[in-house]
Amino acid sequence: MSKLMAVFAGGFLVVHLALFSQAEEGSEAKVVCPVSGKAVNKDCTVDYKGGKVAFCCGNCAGAFTKDSSKFAAKANHQLVASKQAKLVKCPFSGGKLNPETAIEVAGVKVCFCCDRCKAKAESAEDRVTLLFNDAAFAKGFEVKKAD
């Protein structure tokens, strides 16, 4: 095998581990299909915002591709849960993160700039939609660049 093949194979493994290692490690953040909520099939992914979102089947991947806006918050959450994206700023204000404001949202740790933003999140009925919608994701999260 050539060195290029080894590097390519290694790159594939990095993506595979990033998407699916959390369930194997017993982490609380569970990677699920953003359309159905079922377990994902590692071979059924779609490129999304510089990462890969996994689905349970081709039908869900097709529904997502047809109208990703309907599933954006759950897809954005999956990017964070699979460690392809990370929190870098407050998802509400875009301000500097205060680690003392951390809460857990569907298995993902989210911090805010202040207690007011934390209280806003804690009072929300649907925290995933509030904190991982496209506007909040753009303001507070960054997709990691592939090595």
Q: How far apart are CA 57 and CA 62, in angstroms?
A: 9
Report the alpha-carbon angle 4-8-11, nearest 5: 140
Q: Would you say the pTM of this structure is higher than 0.95?
A: no
> For residue 133, what are the contacts with CB-CB under 8 A and spacing of at least 6?
72, 73, 76
Find where tokens 């689905």 sit: 55
Question: What would the pLDDT profile of 8-62 be if each residue is shown by its tens digit?
Answer: 344 443 344 344 443 334 445 689 999 999 999 999 999 999 999 999 999 999 9
Cα Dmax for the chain: 56
Domain coordinates in residue numbering, the chain: 3-85, 86-143
Which tokens belong to 98? 């205060």
